[in-house]
Chain A
Amino acid sequence: MKRVYVNEEWCLGCHLCEYNCAFANSGARDMVSALKGKPLVSRIRVEGDGRITYAVSCRHCTDPLCVTCCISGALRREDGVVRIDRGKCVGCLTCVLVCPYGAVAPGPDGAALKCELCLQNSCGAPACAAGCPNRAIVYEEREEERS
């Protein structure tokens, strides 16, 4: 299946992915009205130090700990994609406690927030990858070999 892959080598640390993500999931028609003067709510984040930067979002693990450990059953894996039913989520953040990538975040409404490959918004394909200026984030098929 197509996945989001991160090439650390090419990450510029520009943080555009975070803004593209926040916009894609805002439901707003343009980025300015979606993001101006509002706290950034992103499902991807750039981390690193002065030298190294890379973006991290949900890896859609084959055996996702967040799904196994979810107390409410809000997280589930469907066709290889880890999805969240935010209406079911009670915001206990056990997923935040167990996700080894730090890829699940507490949302502003208390429920957990995570990347669903933009399947749940109007983009249809991950906005982070589409907007990455240096192909540090790509959405593609790769030979799938579990590491």
Chain B
Amino acid sequence: MKRYVIIGGGAAGTSCAEAVRRTDPQGEITLVSQERVSGYGRPLISYYLEGKTDIPRMSRVGLGFYERNCITALHGVGAASLDAAAHRVTLEDGRQLPYDALCLCTGSFPFSPRFEGIETVPRRFFFTTLEDALALEQAVTKESRVLIVGAGFIGLKCAEGLRDRAGSITVCDLADRAMSVSLDGQCSVILERHLEKNGIRLMLGNTAARFEGGCAVMQHGERVDFDILVIAIGVRPATSLAAQAGAAIGRGITIDETGKTSLPDVWAAGDCTESTELTTGQTAVMAILPNAAQQGECAGINMAGGSAVFTAGMRMNSIGFFGLHVMSAGTCQGDAAFCEVTETSCRKLYVQEGVLKGYVLIGDVRKAGIYTAMIRDRVPLEGVDLEAVGREPSLLPLGQATRRRKLGGVV
């Protein structure tokens, strides 16, 4: 009987475990999770604060997942070391787990630059795990002044989640715009206006330089008093276990399209990895849940002797703030081939080499998945009315034969 060990209980870990079980009904699966609760959707934590969900409903895998799939789950314990040659993982509590196939789904950890005086801040938080959210929930009162450092996805979702619980919320960022990684200035201004309309104070191009207890001194000299500080600058792949075992590592654990690392019988999936990005062909860390889930599934199938590849890795995001949806996928570089921007909405399509490479939608995001699929499948745009496609995504560019196969067959 084959022994499988999976380190990490996030989307990658649970998808991996499920895929292993589907492929190998007999094998012995052990899943190790540092957190006390696993299998929940990590991006749900802001919705939890917002009151849109609760802990029972947050489980991505559903009740009885481990029992149903005959998985031994070890919670609240991390992996301390990995001996790849001996095919053995040692846990923090000293237990040893021998394996025939191992998958590292260690995820990412919040990144924090060295702020001067940060240790003087009594109530500071990260915002990536359920434990973070629960701690924040405890700390925040209706009077709290919250300062969030970082106006990316995590910081802004945190702001949305906390708005009705806190007295005031300020989000600052070194970049001159919100969500600077995925939005250009034209797009981000739409989002910024919307956030401000909903009571979020933004300080952009101006981040905290140092902290003095409950006060942040900004780069431009202003002083911002706060009760609660959230550091949401970004995340970094958690690669130390792999590194210590000698795996090839770039910015994340290097994996090939089957999910395999450079170590024998060791796979990796999710936020801790780096792999080939579809639209650029370059290696990148793509720390998003859809990627993690698909990579985990792919690795799981291969670990159990099946055959799968995952080559569709790309950046994509669907996120909403106070009812305004923002979606983006792929690479948005150069001039947009289609661009339609209003006060409250935006549609931008980026085309290179005759195929769609990326898009940004704000406001009306209906059917955006058709664009995502066009990027992934490299649908040729020759002869396609880009104006029509830009205004409304449709299956027209696929051509009749493909549509007949897809809408008239099993997919």
Contacts and interface: CB of A to CB of B under 8 A. Distances in A.
B43 A71 contact: yes
Interface in B318-335: 318-320, 323, 325, 327, 329
A102 B367 contact: yes
Interface string B25-48: 000000000000000011110010
B139 interface: no
A90 B396 contact: no
B410 interface: yes
Interface residues of A, number: 46
Interface stretch (B170-178, B211-219, B398-406): B398-406
Given A3-B410, A88-B57, A90-B47, A68 B365 contact: no
Contact of B396 (A3, A52, A59, A62): A52
Which of B290, B365, B369, B372 has the most chain A CB atoms closer than 10 A to its own CB?
Answer: B369
Contacts of A94: 289-290, 318
Size range of the interface on B?
35 or more
A130 interface: no
A105 to B, nearest CB: 6
Nearest to B392: A47
Contacts of A147: 405-406, 409-411
A49 interface: yes
Interface of A: 3, 5-8, 47-49, 52, 54, 56, 59, 61-62, 65, 68-73, 76, 87-88, 90-102, 104-106, 110, 142, 144-147
B274 interface: no
A73 B65 CA distance: 12
A96 B406 CA distance: 18
B41 A96 contact: no
Contacts of A88: 53, 57
8 contacts: A49-B388, A49-B396, A62-B411, A68-B15, A73-B61, A92-B318, A102-B394, A146-B410
B325 A98 contact: no
B59 interface: yes
Given A73-B62, A76-B62, A100-B373, A93 B410 contact: no
A56 B394 CA distance: 10
B197 interface: no
Contact of A7 (B320, B408, B411): B408
Given A47-B396, A73-B62, A104-B369, A59 B297 contact: no
B369 A97 contact: yes
A69 B59 contact: no
Nearest to B14: A73
Interface in B119-157: none
Contacts of B388: 49
Nearest to A88: B57
B369 A6 contact: no
Contact of A102 (B327, B329, B370, B410): B370
Contact of A8 (B372, B373, B407): B407
A54 B290 contact: no
B60 interface: yes
A52 B44 CA distance: 41
B44 A72 contact: yes
